Structure 1
Amino acid sequence: MHPNEELIQKFYTAFQSKDGSTMATSYHSDAEFSDPVFKNLKGKEVGAMWLMLVERGQNLTVRFQNVKADDQKGSADWEADYSFSKTGRMVYNKIHAEFTFQDGKIKTHKDSFNLWKWAGMALGNPGTFLGWLPSLQSKIRKEAVTGLQMYMKRKKIS
Structure 2
Amino acid sequence: MPHPNAELIRDLYAALDRGDAEAMAARYAPDASFEDPVFRGLRGPEVPGMWRMLTARASEMSVVVDEIEADDAGGSAHWVATYPFTRTGRTVVNDVRARFRFRDGLIVEHVDRFDLGRWGAQAFGPPGRLLALPPVAALLRRQVRGDLAAFLARG
Q: Which TM-score tier does this pair reach, normalised by the shorter chain?
A: over 0.9
Matched, 1:72 2:68: no
Q: Which runs of structure 2 are paired with 1:1-158 in the superposition (5 Å)?
A: 1-128=2-129, 130-154=130-154, 156=155
What is the distance in 1 between the residues matched to 2:146 and 2:83?
21
- Structure 2 residue matching 1:62: 3-state secondary structure: strand
After superposition, what is the alpha-carbon deviation per residue over 1:43-68, rounded to whole angstroms, capped at 9, x for unaligned? 00000111111111122111111111
- Structure 2 residue matching 1:48: 3-state secondary structure: helix
What is the distance in 2 between the residues matched to 1:110 and 1:55?
21
What is the distance in 2 between the residues matched to 1:69 and 1:132?
30
For this pair of structures, how many residues does the alignment match?
A: 154
Runs of 4 or more above 6 Å deviation: none
Displacement of 1:125 in angstroms is: 2.6
Could you state the TM-score of these two structures normalised by the residue count of structure 2? 0.95
What is the distance in 2 between the residues matched to 1:4 and 1:58?
28
What is the distance in 2 between the residues matched to 1:8 and 1:131?
29
What is the distance in 1 between the residues matched to 2:57 and 2:132?
26
After superposition, what is the alpha-carbon deviation per residue over 1:13-32, rounded to whole angstroms, capped at 9, x for unaligned? 11111110010110001100
Unaligned runs of 5+ in 2: none
What is the distance in 2 between the residues matched to 1:35 and 1:87?
21
Displacement of 1:117 in angstroms is: 0.7
What is the distance in 1 between the residues matched to 2:123 and 2:117?
10
1:133 maps to a residue whose letter is: L
Q: CA RMSD in A?
A: 1.0
Unaligned runs of 5+ in 1: none
Displacement of 1:131 in angstroms is: 2.8
Aligned residues: percent identity?
42
- Structure 1 residue matching 2:60: 3-state secondary structure: strand
Displacement of 1:115 in angstroms is: 0.4
- Structure 2 residue matching 1:119: 3-state secondary structure: helix
- Structure 1 residue matching 2:40: 3-state secondary structure: coil
Could you state the TM-score of these two structures normalised by the residue count of structure 1? 0.94
